[in-house]
Amino acid sequence: MTDTLDPKITAAPANAGSDENVTRPPQPRPAVVRPPALKRRVPKVSDLAPLMQFKKPEFSKAARLKRASTIRELRDIAKRRTPKAPFDYTDGAAEEEITLRRARQAFQDIEFRPGILRDVSRIDLRTDILGKESRLPFGIAPTGFTRMMQSEGEYAGSQAAEAAGIPYTLSTMGTASIEDVAAAAPNGRNWFQLYLWTDRDRSLELIERAARAGNDTLMVTVDTAVAGARLRDVRNGMTIPPALTVKTVLDASYRPAWWFNFLTHEPLTFASLSRYTGTVADLINSMFDPTLTYEDLDWLRETWKGKLVVKGIQTVEDARRVVDHGADGIILSNHGGRQLDRAPIPFHLLPEVTSALKADNSNANVILDTGIMSGADIVAALALGADFALIGRAYLYGLMAGGREGVDRTIQILEKDMTRTMALLGVSKVSDLNPDHVRLLQR
């Protein structure tokens, strides 16, 4: 007969004499004491009332712009409010737009290297550029056809720059005259951008007008021997002024505010040119001078008594050479990717150029544009040796999103970005930024 073992009794192992091997009954777990705040209860109306503060929806321009915290969000607003042709003219670039994508990617392919235990209670963004102080280390770049993007155009840009204490650059292809911009922003620091035409007398006339209007800097652009292949403009049938076709009328039905402003303000014309009708590329190819050489730069240096900067520098050799020919500053720029696709990226070129000019004991200012979409981008450029930056598309996105207030918002966003980035880097003023604060990552 087999004994039936009580299941509660466990057979002792061979070395049962050791206390360590005695199986003990499980010990009861201590009771969990739940904090009063975690005990379930029926909510009281008095508890819910502070949470139920529903805000009245706001659809004003000010509310719309306030909700934008980045330049990309301003771009989204601009795209919704602007017809396709002028938006694409701003947003697009040449051919496959490889250069523009690479320029923006260049700013993303960095690593900031912050310092700690620094006093950053006050951040000073002031800097000197071309002999005068700017409250922020960036200015507004020259842009053509600006009132086509939004009817306030150059007036909004120049007045916003004046209020912010930064330079504003009027383009030869602008839709407001040199004199009107000076009158709109009489206390602003206005620069004039020049395309040298085949007609030198007309170029000289513009230079003289810029000087009389108080512009202290002449910016000559040298990367437009011919027009780039801006395929978005070709596909959109982009003309000056915009043509009213079935396609544009349908596009306008979704953006009535733009068309209302366009049709109820002064007709769009080039303020520095005679009235022109045709495609943008045809205008550039008929007006700009493909024979431009360093001798013309020497002529400009003799003619213009203020500061002279050359925009469109894309090699170290050209940077050195234009300085040798009298330039007070250079602008590393590939025209926002709108001319030669697969062109050098200014941000990549920056360390080599600044090193070369330093080796030459040059005092020329180095300015950078192309690809800037945040204040952190500007901080990175300054750390790698730029003295200043220019914003083009970022400013136009704000303009299209909300006119003058939109440009103000662009500047506010960039300033806030820069202040925060510098504080987190442990840097309290622009002059303390240096290459140790940025590392270029390898892709």
Residues 349-373 have a mean pLDDT of 97
Q: Are 214 and 190 in contact (CB under 8 A)?
A: yes
Q: Token digits for 243?
A: 């043509």
State the average pLDDT for the chain: 88
What pLDDT score was predicted for residue 235?
A: 85
Compute the distance between CA of residue 310 and CA of residue 299 in angstroms, rounded to an integer: 13
Least confident of 192-201, 263-272, 310-319, 419-428: 263-272
Cα 300 → chain centroid: 30
Q: Are 389 and 382 in contact (CB under 8 A)?
A: yes
> What backbone phi and psi angles, to 5 degrees, belong to 104?
-70, -35
Residue 1 has pLDDT above 90, yes or no: no
pLDDT in tens, 155-164: 999 999 999 9
Length of the chain as a residue count = 443
What pLDDT score was predicted for residue 266?
A: 82
What pLDDT score was predicted for residue 9?
A: 45
- Choosing from 325, 335, 348, 437, the catalytic residue is 335
pLDDT in tens, 261-281: 888 888 777 666 654 555 666
* The model scores a pTM over 0.75: yes
Residue scoring higher pLDDT (59 or 390): 390
Pairing mode, strands 167-170 and 438-440: unpaired
Q: Are 344 and 363 in contact (CB under 8 A)?
A: no
Residues 28-57 have a mean pLDDT of 78
Residue 169 has pLDDT above 90, yes or no: yes
Percent of the residues in the chain that have a pLDDT greater than 70, as a whole number:
88
Compute the distance between CA of residue 329 and CA of residue 386 in angstroms, rounded to an integer: 11
Confidence of residue 46 (pLDDT cuts 50, 70, 90): confident
Residue 2 has pLDDT above 80, yes or no: no
- DSSP letters, 241-284, are SPP--HHHHHHHTT-HHHHHHHHHSSPP--TTS----EEHHHHH
Q: Token digits for 311?
A: 């925009």
Residue scoring higher pLDDT (65 or 4): 65
Compute the distance between CA of residue 51 and CA of residue 136 in angstroms, rounded to an integer: 40
- Paired with 132 in beta bridges are 129
Residue scoring higher pLDDT (274 or 413): 413
> What backbone phi and psi angles, to 5 degrees, belong to 194?
-120, 130
Q: Are 161 and 140 in contact (CB under 8 A)?
A: yes
pLDDT in tens, 13-34: 555 555 556 677 777 777 778 8
Q: Token digits for 199?
A: 């007609």
Confirm whether 335 is a catalytic residue: yes
Compute the distance between CA of residue 167 and CA of residue 190 in angstroms, rounded to an integer: 6
Residues 369-387 have a mean pLDDT of 98
Taking Cα atoms as reference points, which of 153, 128, 125 lies closest to residue 140? 153
pLDDT in tens, 126-155: 999 999 999 999 999 999 989 999 999 999
